[in-house]
Amino acid sequence: MNPLLSQIKVDGDPNAVDSFAACITAVAKTTNGHADYWHVEALTGTSFSPCLNNGEDCIGWMVDGGNSARYDFIGRSLGIDIARVEMATGAPKGWIEEYKKSGAPPEQARDYFESMKEAVEGDGFVIVKTWPAWSVLSGWDADLTKLPFSTTPGFQGAVESIWPPINSTTFFALRGSAKPGEIKETAIETIRFGYEIASGQISNPDKELSGDVQFGGHLYGKVVEIAAGKYLCPGCQEHGCFGRMVKRIHNGHQATVQFLRYAAEMIANSKNALAFESTIATYSALEAASQKYPNWGGFSSRYDDADFRDEIVGNFSRMNALHEEATGRLRSLCDTI
């Protein structure tokens, strides 16, 4: 058993961070001794544009999707070998309830969890697609209903009750493999993929980037649309979910600004210095616009205020325009790096 599993700690505000990036960061810190969350989130590409996941009814969860699509590149950048494992199709419906009675999983589940166990016992790490946040296994248990895990702070109980590891059908096996990728090359590739995310032109989509998942700033328009209605979360018919959505947006803006500043230190020159400066300035303007909302509790008395709704419409319309500007800036930057 990997002795480092018990040291795994996933950090960050669960309503702000990308939980997949937070789990990768936790593993990278344990294996390599250092990793910055904002760097990992930028490597996913999804910080460059908020996600609009049309497969979710709740506005608070529409902002999550597609974050694991570039796992191979993330691993190469950090010096971690990452393999994706999925449960074979055909497992009977309700197998978990039957397993709780008999202790015998169907073949598809047995093979899947055997692979998970091998990764853990082979001194590796396992990131599991649980919900409402991704998790990292912190050990093993012969009883699959009791698999120990670490997830973002405050979400442990929610994951245990809603979608714990036994419910998963996808996991990633990780192992420290080599030196991290060449800094300049990975920075350039991150920016180029960031442009594709920002513009909505996604290359090499995998199952995480389904037809329900849209980038390219579509979420800003969605918020403008719902702000004119009765609820800021029409799916849940309430307002509070809006708070999680704006925290996630702001977190992405912050990560992008930090990464672009870091990349500029690595690869800026006389040909692209202005392109870096203008791109950073535009994402900084987005960060400033979204910074108005993370302390959502302070707006609780204004949920139904028409003037406040008008402010939301105006601010998100501005973010939409700024995102289009940022996409153009990224395109110009890609031409110079």
Closest to 278 (Cα-Cα) out of 220, 320, 336: 336
**How far apart (Å, rounded) are the C-alpha atoms in residues 163 and 148?**
13
Dihedral of CA atoms 61, 62, 68, 69 in degrees, nearest 10, equals: 170
Which of the pair, 189 or 204, is modelled with greater confidence? 189
Q: What is the mean pLDDT of the chain?
A: 92
User: 286 pLDDT exceeds 50?
Assistant: yes
Q: How confident is the model at residue 333 (pLDDT cuts 50, 70, 90)?
A: very high
Structure tokens at 230: 């009765």
Please provide the CATH number assigned to the domain covering 183-334.
Answer: 1.20.120
pLDDT digits (tens, 9 = 90+) for 93-104: 999 999 999 999
Least confident of 68-72, 149-153, 251-255: 68-72
Q: What is the pLDDT of residue 33?
A: 67
pLDDT, residue 257, reads: 98
Q: Is the pLDDT of residue 272 over 90?
A: yes
Task: Report the percent of the chain where pLDDT is more than 90.
Answer: 81
Domain ranges of the chain: 5-35+80-176, 183-334
For residue 132, whether the previous peptide bond is cis, meaning omega lies within 30 degrees of 0, is yes
Rounded Cα distance, 309 and 316, in Å: 11
DSSP states of 174-186: EEE-SPPPPHHHH
pLDDT of residue 207: 57
**pLDDT score for 304:** 83
> Confidence band (pLDDT; 50, 70, 90) for 204?
very low
- Whether residue 203 has pLDDT greater than 60: no
pLDDT at 337: 93
Local structure of 151: helix, strand or coil: strand
Arithmetic mean of pLDDT, 212-220: 93
Question: Can you tell me the mean pLDDT for 288-307?
Answer: 82
C-alpha dist (Å) from residue 141 to 36, 152, 170: 31, 21, 18
> Is the confidence at residue 230, as pLDDT, over 50?
yes
Got the DSSP string for 182-211? PHHHHHHHHHHHHHHHHHT--SS--TTS-T
Range name among 51-55, 160-164, 189-193, 219-223 with the lowest pLDDT average? 51-55
What is this structure's pTM? 0.94
Q: How confident is the model at residue 299 (pLDDT cuts 50, 70, 90)?
A: confident
| 3-state DSSP assignment of residue 166 | helix
Mean pLDDT value across residues 185-209: 83
Mind listing the pLDDT tens digit for each residue in 112-155? 999 999 999 988 999 999 999 999 999 999 999 999 999 999 99
Mean pLDDT over 187-209 rounds to 81
